[in-house]
Amino acid sequence: MTLQSSPSDILPTYDRVVLDFYAQRDRSLFEKPMLDRMLGVTPRNMSPRRLLDLGCGTGAPIATYLAERGLAVTGVDGAAGMVELFARTLPRETAVHADMRGLDLAQTFDAILAWNSFFHLSPDDQRSMFEVFRRHAAPNAALMFTTGTSAGEVWGEAAGAEVYHSSLDPAEYRDLLAQHDFKLIDHRPEDPSCHGHTIWLARYIGAPGHA
Please give the pLDDT value at position 210.
58
Q: Does the pLDDT of residue 3 top 70, yes or no?
A: no
Q: Is the dihedral of CA 210, 128, 112, 186 positive or negative?
A: negative
155 strand-pairing partners = 164
Q: In what order do the strands lie in the sheet with 137-147?
A: 94-97, 72-77, 50-54, 109-114, 137-147, 197-204, 182-191
Report phi then psi at 30, rounded to 5.
Answer: -60, -20
> Which residues contact residue 12 at a Cβ distance below 8 angstroms, ignoring those fewer than 6 apart?
none
How many residues belong to the chain? 211
Contact between 198 and 149 (Cβ < 8 Å) = yes
Please give the pLDDT value at position 1.
30
Q: Exposed/middle/buried for 126, CB within 10 Å: 0-12, 13-18, 19+?
A: buried
Q: For 96-130, write each residue's pLDDT tens digit.
A: 999 999 999 999 999 999 999 999 999 999 999 99
Q: Does the pLDDT of residue 32 top 60, yes or no?
A: yes
Q: For 155-170, write each residue's pLDDT tens digit.
A: 998 888 999 999 999 9
| DSSP string for residues in 17-67 | THHHHHHHS--S-TTHHHHHHHHHH---SSSS-EEEEET-TT-TTHHHHHH
pLDDT interval class at 77 (50, 70, 90): very high
Average pLDDT over residues 179-207: 97
Contact between 9 and 164 (Cβ < 8 Å) = yes
Average pLDDT over residues 87-101: 98
